[in-house]
Structure formats: C-alpha cells, structure tokens
Amino acid sequence: MIRLNGQQVLVVAKESVKYSLINPHLLYDSIPSSQAQIPTFPAVRENRAVFDYYDEPQAGNYLPELLYQHFHNGDLIREGYFLLTEASLENGYKGAYSDKLGLFFGQYQNTNIREMDFGSIPKTLPLSPLNQLEGKDAYCYPTILNDFFYGPNGAGIGYSGKINDYAVSYTAGPKVPMFFAGWVLQKLAAITGIRVSGSFFTHPVWSKLILFNLKEAESESITIAHHLPPLTVTEFILELRKIANLKFEFNAVERSLKIDFWDDSLLQPTQRNWTAKAVKGEIKTPETNTRMQLTMQMDGNDGMTKDKPAFFADFVSEETEGNRNGIAQVNMKFSSLAVDESTGLPICKQEGQSSQFGQQAKPFSPRLLFWHGITDGLPIALPGLSGITLSPAGLAETCWKETIALRKRMFYLQKQFILNEADLAKLDFSQKYHCEGVDYLLAQVNVGVPVKEVAECLLVGGG
C-alpha cells in the first residue's frame, strides 16, 4: 500500500516499486540518496482526488511535494517524497521518488554559515572563560599565542602577543570568542528546522570541540556568524564527519539527524544472519585501494603551519603483502594549531580580522581545538584531549582505527538473496550481516516491492 500525504493511492495490481537502496555511511564527500522507480498511478477517481485533479488544465500549477510512504502488511518499507512530473487522464500520474538526503537542509544546503543569522550576544564584562547559552556550553575565550595578530603594528600599541590574554582576568588585547562545534550544530539545526541528537553531543571529549577563529570581538554585541569557519552548511557537517569519523542517520520525513561514531558501529557484534536467504553463486571483486590516507589542509596564512609541521603530516596506512595497496584518500578542510614548546599554549602567526588597522578582510581557514578549561591559571584549548589528538596520525589511531582495518581487508560481493518485505522494513545499513561464514556491510540493495524476484545486493566484506 502506497500513501501520499496520508491518503492511499491505487496501483496497478502487478506493478512493483523498484528500489535501489544505498548505504549512506560509506562515502565522506557527499550525502548519497536512495532511488526508486515508481509505477504510474492510474487516473481513477481516488487517485485524482489525491493529486487535487492536477490533470485538468484549470487546476493551475500549484502542487507541492507529497509525503510518500510504502507499507506492506503493516510494515513501513520506505518513506520519502513524491514529485509529480506528468499527469493526464489517459496515461495517469507519473512522478519521481526522493529521500531528499541530498537536499536535507533545504534552502540552506549550500549557504555559507558565516552568512546565516545565528543571532548576536552581548559581550558582557568582565569576560568569563566559559560561557553558556540556554544551559549549554556555547563559547569560550582560550589564550592563544599570536604575536602577528595586528601584523607589524602590534608593538606600537603595546600588544602582548596573545589573543585572549589572561592573568586572573582578561587583560588588554584582542578578545576572540570561540564557539563549541556541538552548540553550533544545534543552533544550525534550529535555523534549518531539523532536530539533532546522538552521542557526539555527549561524548566526554568531542563535546569539548571548539571552532578556532581570528575575528576580534570589538563591539558590545558579538555577531556569532562572524566567528564561524567559512564553510557551507553541507561542508561544515561533512568536514566534521571526516575529523571524528562520524555516522550520520538522516530522516528527511521526521527532519532529524542522529550523529554518532562510525567506528563504534563497526565494533558492534553481528546480529543478523542472511545465510538461509542466500541464493547459490556470487561474484567477488577485490578493493584495490586497501590503504587509507588522512590529510589536513593547512592555513597558508599561518606562519607556523605554512610548511606543514611533522605533527600534521599525512597519515598513510601500511602496505600489506598480497593486497593491491592502492590508497583511498580522505582530505580534511579542518586542521588545528601548533603548540608552543616553551609555554604549552597553542600558537599561530597570522593577522587577525580587526578594524584597528584595516584588517577586516584577513582570511582564516577552518581549525579546531579542544577546550580544557582553566589549567594552571590559564584558559586552555589544545589540539588534544584525553588521548584524542587533532592530527592525521592521532585521528587514525582513535577515530579511524576500525575503518582503516576494514579497508585493509575489504572486498566486494555481488550476491542475490531471497528477501521478504519484513526484511526490507528492518534494513539497517549501519549493521553487519552474516552470510556463509563472513560478516558484511550492505553497500546497496536493489529490490522490487511487493517482492516478486530475488534482491540484488552489493556487499562489503572484511568486517
């Protein structure tokens, strides 16, 4: 049974909806969408009413996207949206299915977050190292070494060489608020009309992640967007995903996004066994890129990282005998700051954004730090916390460890399964499926509903 906006539509009895269901967790530079070939709905009285008699020329051009739900024996097989493309009394109603994951954030999808209205907050004096908004950690003022914030003009105004200089309280010099990544994600969700949840927001380390910036807060009111990285909404979430190897579970109908950790999913025990459903025979192909390379994009305007320090060197997993040993690259736009050996403080050598010497347009690249709080009398943020470091090698050892191990063993299997509608209703692309002695991830499932033929599946082995 198919419902559009909650109303049942009639389908020709022998017709199936052909689904191509895609695992959304295996790509890092895009948000893949599943596809469906929906049969033409006949132009019978019940269906015409659902489509508000759009086939009639007098009906005008207004027809919004319709909520699409496909049920079988009470199980919800798939939901998304139906977009009408053609209507006539003779040929019926033709249209396309979309899960809208590629347009999850709607009109804001490709908007630079620095151009969005995150609101403003008062710069309340005296400044507090850590500040909450609506009961949540929102922004902080960590001390950063940067003797070049005002370029060559700093010495002439007695600049100490520190952003957010602190000695019991904040002293003279540039004040730069740095916002927590989790808080910005939640604020972004509110602006775009979605709900976010997941373990990322409560993790003891990742909940301390802050967005470094070089925008001086000069007025009594702080415009939040000015202190955010120059990324679009899509870039922002995908680049955060690369850093912590996050798992995104989108639900376009419920307008919700659950953010967890992909490596945690790979560590979960396999609970589903499809051996009895397997059709004899398969095609196995190797993954040629069995090594992984993690690389961070440095800020070319920062004199401390212009020549990439060893700490930020690319991570490349080791070669394995018997593998093709090609390299799969994950290029990250986020990086972090170097640490000054003598003081233990984060350090950069870069002009900031300030009106004092006409520096309003000085650029800065996306960078991250972990907020430590007041340590030895100073408000500290560093590129590492509790064993997790914001470097390619550090992330490989912590957040990417299981993914790198999977890539090392990876192969693909094209195999047919005899699935029923209940199996499809319970599909979970974040879980592993057992078949004939091997655990797999599902990369793609092609199947018609009602089920009349075998399902064509692409499996990822090595898990």
Mean pLDDT of 299-320: 95
Percent of the chain scoring above 70 in pLDDT: 100
At a CB cut-off of 8 Å and minimum separation 6, what does 61 contact? Answer: none
pTM as predicted: 0.94
Tens digit of pLDDT for each residue in 204-221? 999 999 999 999 999 999
Question: What's the pLDDT score for residue 100?
Answer: 84
Mean pLDDT of 131-154: 97
Mean pLDDT of 303-319: 95
Question: What's the pLDDT score for residue 102?
Answer: 77
Whether residue 298 is predicted with pLDDT greater than 90 in this model: the reply is yes
Tens digit of pLDDT for each residue in 388-410? 999 999 999 999 999 999 999 99
DSSP state of 238: H
Whether residue 433 is predicted with pLDDT greater than 80 in this model: the reply is yes
Assign 207 to helix, strand or coil: helix
CB atoms within 10 A of CB 249: 16
Band the pLDDT of 63: cuts 50, 70, 90: confident
Question: What's the pLDDT score for residue 306?
Answer: 86
Q: DSSP readout, 401-436?
A: HHHHHHHHH-EEEEEEE---HHHHHT--TTSEEEET
Domain boundaries, the chain: 1-103+411-463, 107-262+335-386
* CATH class (in words) of the domain with range 1-103+411-463: mainly beta
Question: What's the pLDDT score for residue 62?
Answer: 82
- Bond prior to 383 in cis (omega within 30° of 0): no
Whether residue 58 is predicted with pLDDT greater than 80 in this model: the reply is yes
Query: What distances in angstroms separate CA 380 from CA 145, 208, 305, 345, 374, one per listed residue?
Result: 11, 12, 20, 7, 6
407, 287 in Cβ contact below 8 A?
yes
Mean pLDDT of 442-455: 97
Whether residue 321 is predicted with pLDDT greater than 90 in this model: the reply is no
Whether residue 197 is predicted with pLDDT greater than 80 in this model: the reply is yes
Tens digit of pLDDT for each residue in 257-284? 999 999 999 999 999 999 999 999 999 9
Question: What's the pLDDT score for residue 31?
Answer: 86
Mean pLDDT of 159-182: 97
Mean pLDDT of 40-64: 92
Question: What's the pLDDT score for residue 59?
Answer: 87
User: What value does the mean pLDDT of the chain take?
Assistant: 96
Question: What's the pLDDT score for residue 192?
Answer: 95
Spatial separation of the C-alpha atoms in residues 123 and 222, rounded to whole Å: 6
